Structure 1
Amino acid sequence: MTAYIEEIVCFNEAAIRAGNEYLEVVLVPKWGSNLISLKWKKGNLELLRTPSTKEEYISKPYLYGIPILFPPNRIDRGEFTYNQKTYRFYY
């Protein structure tokens, strides 16, 4: 199983995309601990309601995404290192 995590830009915001051969998730840390995308790759199926624009998300954030199961403060200092790169869940 090959897993990956990378920094991307999503709706003009710094974001994190992570996944494996089955699933892919997108998290915009500035918007909180909320996955805004969860995709089943085999079926090319978005499992969550995903906003089309940043404005759509900002106007009704409760319609989109799902909170991740661990809040950022459960990760030591809100950061971790993977593949020799450090990721932070805060600014």
Structure 2
Amino acid sequence: MKKLFAFLALVAVAAPVWADTQTVTLAVPGMTCAACPITVKKALNKVDGVQDVKVSYEKLTAVVTFDDAKTDVHKLTKATENAGYPSSVKN
């Protein structure tokens, strides 16, 4: 039992180390005015794990840095979609 407890304690301490910071560029073609990036940025910043968001109206993109242990690309694109701006990973 002590070994199990020690193992679980080790996993709890080491788990944050396994997390990695990822950066993804999302294409957000629905931004039609200079105010749209504000809404997109607010929506993305509400997603748990998002660390930084840079939205470009000129390029119709959002560059998002996030903790992949807390969120993923699907949650990011869902957040923009829910805000009225469907997005996808830019290739």
Q: Report the TM-score when normalising by structure 2.
A: 0.24
The structure with the largest helix share of the pair is 2
Instruction: Identify the structure with bigger relative contact order (alpha carbons < 8 Å, sequence gap 6+).
Output: 2
Which one has the largest radius of gyration? Answer: 2
Q: Report the TM-score when normalising by structure 1.
A: 0.24
The structure with the largest strand share of the pair is 1
